[in-house]
Structure 1
Amino acid sequence: MAEAALKPQRGKSLFRLAAMAGALVLSACSTLIPRGAPPVQPPPKQPTTSAPAPVEPGIPQDQQRHRVALLVPLSGSNAGVGQSLANATQLALLDTKSEKVRITTYDTAGGAAQAARRAIADGNGLILGPLLSENVRAVAPIARSAHVPVISYSNDVDAAGNGAFIMGYTPNQSIERVVDYAVKSGITQFAGLVPKGLYGERASAAFVRAARDAGGQIVSIQNYDRSRASINAAVGRFPSTSPFQAVLIADSAGTAAVAVPQIRKTAVGGNARVLGTELWNTDSAVGDEAALNGAWFASVPDGLYRQYATKYRTRFGKAPYRLSSIGYDSVLLTVRIAREWPMGRPFPMNALMDKDGFAGLDGAFRFDRNGVAQRMLEVQEIRGGQTVTISPAPRSFANQ
C-alpha cells in the first residue's frame, strides 16, 4: 500500500480534489482559533530514565580497542628493566597515536603463570612479554590453550614456537655477523673464550658454524667459570703453536676487559682483534673499557635508539634500559597488525610471519618459521671511548 501511494496518478481530477480538501481543512482550522489567542503549546515531554549499566568485575570493557597484555616484572630484582619496558610501550602508543590498541600491564614478579591467566580472563587477545625465559615457558602453554599468541622479550630460542615468538637479541646472530665481517676484512684464524653454561654452549656452536660458513678457521675455544682466576687459566690454555688473528669473547664487556690484558701477554694473541657479542650493546659503559679499544661487535643499530632515549629521558626523568627498545618495537608491530585485526576476532598470528619483516628502533626484523626474530645487525668498533659504526645494517630483507 505504501509503495502504491508513491506512484503518480493519472488525470487532474484527483489533484484538484486533494487541493480543495486541503484548502477546506486550513479554512476550518482558521475559524476554530480566535485571532490574537496565544498558540496552543504541546504538553511537556516527561524525561525518560534508564537503569544504570551494571558494574562488571575486572578492567572496564572496551569495544573500540584491541586489548593487549604486557607481562613484565614490576617488583623484585628485575623491576627496573620491567618498568623501563612498560614505559617504552606507553611511549610507543603516544608516538603512534593509535586508537585501536589498549595495553594493560601485569606484574610477573608474583608469578608469570598467574599473571597470564589474569590477562586472558580480562579478555586480552595478545601478550607482550614476559622477559625471562623461564617465565615464557610458564606462560606459553596457558596462552596457547586460549589461542592467544605471545611476543616475548626473551632471547631463549628454545622457548619459541607453538604461538610463542622471541624478540630478544640472540648471540648466534651477532656472532655470525661479526665473524663474517672479520673474514671479509682479511681475518681467517680465530680463537674463542666462552663462559660455561647454556649461553656459552650456544655461543660456541654459533662461533664454529659462523667461522665455517665464512671460510675462517678456529684454532682454539676455551671455557671459564667467570672468575678472574678461571679466565686467566683459560687464556693460558691457548696453544702456543697456534697463533690467531682475532679472539671472540662471548661475555659482557666487563668480563672481556678482564681477559684482554692476559691475552695481550701471550705470544699467540698479542695483536689479535677482540670480538664481542650482542651483550656489549646493552652495556652503556662499554666505551669506558680502555682494554676494549679497537674491538668489534655486532648489534642492532643505535641511531634511532639515541633519539628514543632522549625522548624517554624527557618524559620519565631518567635513562631507559637498552633492552626497552624491544618493548617499543613490539608495540609498533602490534599497531601495524591491528589495522587488519577485526574487533572481536583472534589476533591474526599469520601476520607475524610476513617475510618482508617489520621496522623499529632496532632496525628491520622478522620472525623465522621457529618464531625467533631475525635482525639486521651493524658492526661497531669501540674507538676512543665511543662506539662507531663500521659496517651499517641493511635496511630491509629485500635481498635476503
Structure 2
Amino acid sequence: MFTVCKPVSKLAKAAAALATAALLAACDPGGLGGGPSIDTSDPVPVALLVPRGSGQAGDAALAQSLENAARLAMSDLPNVKVDLRVYDTAGNAGTASTVAQQAVADGAKIIIGPVYAQAANAAGLAVLNKNVNVLSFSNNTSIAGGNVFVLGPTFQNTANRLVNYSAAKGKTGTVIVYSNDAAGQLGQSAIASALGSSPVNNAGTVSYDRSQQGVITAVPTIKATVDSSGADSVFLTATTAGALPLLTQLLPEAGVSSATTQFIGLTRWDIPPQTLELPGVQGGWFALPDPAKAQSYRQRYNATYGEAPHPISGLAYDGIAAIGALVAQGKSNALTGAALTQSAGFQGVGGIFRLRPNGTNERGLAVATIQNKQVVVIDPAPQSFAGAGF
C-alpha cells in the first residue's frame, strides 16, 4: 500500500514540513472550558493508549506503529517537551478504563488513543471526573462528545466535502446507494445529512443486501430511481472489499453510464491499489487526505523506522502535533476543551484538521478522480480553514 523508503538525504523538505505541524495553532483558544491547568515550561505528561496485548492479529504491530508515530511527532516539536507514557489496553474496554485511570494517577494531563470505539468510550468515562480530555483514534462519532474527541476520518466529513464539490460542479441531484449493514446505514445518513444543507437534491435512496445476489437485485431499482428522478450522480457507500467492483460493472451495463451519471464514492477508491484497475471506477470521484503531505509522512516514517507506517498511525502524530501546537502558546489552559477546539485547527500528516465542540472532527480533504488507472487530484485539499468552504 505504501511506497518504499527513499534515501534520507531526499527527505529534508518533508521533515521540515512535518516540523511545522505543531505550529498551526493560530488563535486564542478563549475560555478555560473542561480540562486541566498545565505548566507549559515543564514537559507535558501525555498518555498514549494502544491495543497491545489483545492477542488479535495485527494489534501489536498497530500499537508499535502508533507509538512510533507519536515519537516521530515529538521529535518534530520545536521548543515543546512531551513526557509520553504508553499504556496497553489489550484492545478491550475494561482494560482501557483501568489504564486510563492509572495514566491520570501517574500525572497525565491528556490521553491520546485508544483505537477501538468501546475502549475509547470507556477511557473517556473513566477520567471524566478527573477533567482530562481523550483524543481517541476512533472514527465512530457515536462516542464523541464530553471529554472524548475522535481523530479518525468520519463519513460526515467526507460526505460534506464531496457534496460541496458536486454542488460547485453544477450537479443537481444524487441517488444514494448503500449496503443495509451498519456501515452502509451510517454512510447513507451522512450523505443524506450533507445533501440536506446543499443545493444538490436527494433524488432517492436504494439499499442492497451485502451479497452478490443482493447487488444484482438492486441494480434495476437504482436504474429506475436515476431515470425517474433525473439524477445526474450516484453516491455509493460501497468499498472494494464489498460491492464496489460489482456495482461499477453492473450499473453501466444496465444503462447508468458514468459518461452521463457521475459516480461518487464515500470510501477511498485508491485502497487497495488494485481498485484503480477496475473499468467501472474510471472517472469516479472520491476524497482523500492531502496526497503530498501524506506521502511526506510515509517517507519520513520509513526513513526513521525502516518500514511503512500503519495506515492509521498518522492519527497518533496528529494528536501529538495538536498538543504541541497548543502548549507552544505558553498558556496554562492549553489542553482544555476550548483550546482543543480552536477554529484555526492544526496541521497533521494528511493536511489540516480541527476538533469540533461536539467531539467530532473536520479534515481538509482533496477530491480525486481515476484516469487511466491513476489517481488524479481534481480539487486540492485546502491549506487553511479560513475561506475554505467549511
Deviations 1:235-272 (A, max 9, x none): 23225242543211113234312321011111345642
Pick from 317, 320, 325: which aligns with 2:309? 320
Q: Is the 8 A contact 1:341 1:347 kept in 2?
A: no
Letter of the 1:388 counterpart: V
Q: Is the 8 A contact 1:325 1:361 kept in 2?
A: yes
Q: Is the 8 A contact 1:378 1:389 kept in 2?
A: yes
Pick from 161, 166, 191: which aligns with 1:182? 166
Letter of the 1:201 counterpart: Q
Pick from 359, 366, 369: which aligns with 1:371? 359
Pick from 375, 388, 398: which aligns with 2:376? 388
Q: Does 1:247 pair with 2:234? A: yes
Q: Does 1:218 pair with 2:205? A: no
Q: Secondary structure at the match of 1:214?
A: coil
Letter of the 2:326 counterpart: I
Pick from 101, 109, 115: which aligns with 1:117? 101
Please, which runs of 5 or more residues in structure 1 have no aligned partner? 1-62
In the TM superposition, residue 130 of structure 1 has moved relative to its aligned partner by 1.1
In the TM superposition, residue 119 of structure 1 has moved relative to its aligned partner by 1.8
Q: Is the 8 A contact 1:278 1:297 kept in 2?
A: yes
What residue in structure 1 maps to residue 51 of structure 2? Answer: 73
Deviations 1:304-348 (A, max 9, x none): 1101101212222221123222211111111112234678x9943
Deviations 1:276-313 (A, max 9, x none): 12444664554344431211112321211101101212
Q: Secondary structure at the match of 1:253?
A: coil
Letter of the 2:237 counterpart: A
Instruction: Note closer, same or farther for the CA distance 1:369–1:281 as it changes in structure 2 (3 Å cut).
Output: farther
Instruction: Note closer, same or farther for the CA distance 1:161–1:308 as it changes in structure 2 (3 Å cut).
Output: same
Rounded Cα–Cα distance in structure 2 between residues aligned with 1:346 and 1:276: 37
Q: Does 1:294 pair with 2:290? A: no
Correspondences of 1:324-343 after superposition (within 5 Å) = 324-340=313-329
Q: Is the 8 A contact 2:62 2:313 kept in 1?
A: yes
Instruction: Note closer, same or farther for the CA distance 1:86–1:228 as it changes in structure 2 (3 Å cut).
Output: farther
Instruction: Note closer, same or farther for the CA distance 1:288–1:102 as it changes in structure 2 (3 Å cut).
Output: farther
Pick from 89, 92, 95: which aligns with 2:70? 89
Please, which runs of 5 or more residues in structure 2 have no aligned partner? 1-40
Instruction: Note closer, same or farther for the CA distance 1:331–1:302 as it changes in structure 2 (3 Å cut).
Output: same
Correspondences of 1:28-39 after superposition (within 5 Å) = none
What residue in structure 2 maps to residue 146 of structure 1? Answer: 130
Q: Secondary structure at the match of 1:70?
A: strand
Pick from 229, 233, 255: which aligns with 2:217? 233
Q: TM-score, normalised by structure 2?
A: 0.79
In the TM superposition, residue 97 of structure 1 has moved relative to its aligned partner by 5.4
How many aligned residue pairs are there? 337
In the TM superposition, residue 392 of structure 1 has moved relative to its aligned partner by 1.3
Q: Secondary structure at the match of 2:65?
A: helix
The percent of aligned pairs where both chains have the same amino acid is 28
Higher RCO, 1 or 2 (CA under 8 Å, sep at least 6)? 2
Letter of the 1:68 counterpart: V
Instruction: Note closer, same or farther for the CA distance 1:377–1:260 as it changes in structure 2 (3 Å cut).
Output: same
